[in-house]
Amino acid sequence: MSPRGTTAQGAPTLRGCTFMAPMGIRYFSASPARKATVCVRNPLKDEDGNDMILEITPRAAKRLSTIMTKDANPDLGLRIQVESGGCHGFQYVMSLVTIPPPEDPKRTEVVREDDTIFQFAEDGTAPAPEAPRIILDEPSLDLLKGSKVDFTQELIGAQFKIVDNPLATSSCGCGTSFDIKA
C-alpha cells in the first residue's frame, strides 16, 4: 500500500493522517475568482490585448468609504500617479481629489482625457454610484497593471499602499518607491 491515499470523502492522507481544508476554504476552483473592481471610464488594453486592471481591496475600499463619509464628500476619489524618483527609480504619489460631475467644466482639470477610473464593486458587477474610485493616468496604469491598492495600519502609521505589482523587482522598506523589470 502506498503511503499516500485519499479518504472516502476525497481528503488527502499520508500514512494514516487526514488533511482537511479549514471550513470554507477550497484548494482549487474551476471558476475564475470574482474581482471586486470594475473599470468605469476609459478601459485600456496592454500590447498583448489584455485588460489593464488595478484591483481595489475591500480594506482599501472600506477606508476610502470612511473618508468619503467623514468628509461628507461622495465625489471623493484616490488619484495614483507614478513618477520618476524615490530610492528605487519610481515612486507612488497618492492624493485625494474631488471628482466633479461630467457636466461640470472643471472636470477636465481633475479627470484628464487619458485617465482611467476604477470603482469598487462588492459583487464584481455594477458598482454603486457612491462606491470608492481610483483614478490613474495611462502611463501610471501601464506601470501598475495587475497590482492591488490596499490600506495598511502599522506602528509607523496608516497608508494606502500598492501591493502585488507584477512589474516591480524591488521596493523600499516604506513601500513608496519601486524598480521595474527592464
| CA-based nearest residue to 93, from 37, 128, 51, 140 | 140
**Is pLDDT at 89 greater than 90 in this prediction?**
no
Element (H, E) at 109: helix 107-110
Cell numbers linked to 146: 495587475
Q: What's the pTM?
A: 0.74
For every residue of 38-105, DSSP letters joined together read EEEE---B-TTS-B---EE-HHHHHHHHHHHHHTT-TTEEEEEEEEE-STTSEEEEEEEEE---TT-T
CA–CA distance, 150 with 163 (Å, rounded to integer)? 7
Q: Report the chain's mean pLDDT, rounded to a whole number.
A: 78
Check residues 113 and 33 and name the one with the higher pLDDT.
Answer: 113
Residue 100 has pLDDT above 90, yes or no: no
Tens digit of each residue's pLDDT (9 = 90 or more) over 25-77? 444 444 345 568 999 999 999 999 999 999 999 999 999 999 999 999 999 99
pLDDT at 119: 94
Identify residue 22 by its one-letter amino acid code: P
- Could you identify the residue written with the cell 524598480? 179
DSSP string, 133-174: EEEE-HHHHHHHTT-EEEEEEETTEEEEEEE--TTEEEE-TT
| Three-state secondary structure readout of 14-54 | ECCEECCCCCCCCCCCCCCCCCCEEEEECCCECCCCCECCC
Identify the structural domains of the chain with CATH numbers, from first to last: 35-180 (2.60.300.12)
Quick check: 102 pLDDT over 70? yes
How does pLDDT run across 1-11, given as a tens digit for each residue? Answer: 444 554 454 54
**114-172 pLDDT tens trace:** 999 999 987 767 788 889 999 999 999 998 999 999 999 888 788 898 888 887 765 65
Instruction: Give the CA diameter of the chain.
Output: 76
Q: How high is the pLDDT of residue 126?
A: 77
pLDDT above 70: residue 99? yes
pLDDT of residue 108: 82
pLDDT given at position 32: 45
Q: Are 4 and 13 in contact (CB under 8 A)?
A: yes
